[in-house]
Every structure is written in C-alpha cells, then in structure tokens.
Amino acid sequence: MQQAVNQPVSMILAIDAQTGQVRPERVKWENRIYCLTKFGFVHTERRGLKKFHIFTFSTTTLDMCVELDADNLQCTLLTVDDGM
C-alpha cells in the first residue's frame, strides 16, 4: 500500500563524472538503512525559484520516492509502497 510520508531522510548518492548522472545508493529512514536494488526514474521540477530532483527506486522490501532540494541539498521521503 502506498503511503505519503514527507519526512527528511539521509541519502548516499553516486555521481558519475563522465555522464554527470546522479544516482541514489542508500537511504536512511527511521534508523534503518535501505540499499537500493532497482533504480526507477529521475525528473526535475521547479517550484518558483527552487529546483527539485525527484528519484524513484526500489529496495528489497519497499518502493520509494525521494525529493532532493537542489538549493539546500535536503532529502525528503515523499512516498513508500510496500507492494501490498
């Protein structure tokens, strides 16, 4: 079941120097570390003058959607889906 979360999370990102692509590797949420197993997609949004990068990905147990604020590098977990 998909749930709206809207909580700050810690995220480790990998940046490819040749392509410039940014890709999440791990997310820490509620004192648990989730390793990403499948990368979904990334897109950007503008809200006024702010730019956000939206990532979707899967772990072994959850599907997640995380928003990265490009101005202050804050990560927010938007939604979680446990597949039920």
Q: Please spell the DSSP secondary structure of 26-62, one letter per residue.
A: EEEETTEEEE--EEEEEEEEEETTEEEEEEEEE-SS-
Higher-pLDDT residue of 9, 39: 9
- Which band of pLDDT confidence, cut at 50, 70 and 90, is reported for residue 3? very high
Q: What is the pLDDT of residues 11-58, one digit of tens each?
A: 999 989 999 888 889 999 999 999 999 988 889 999 999 999 999 999
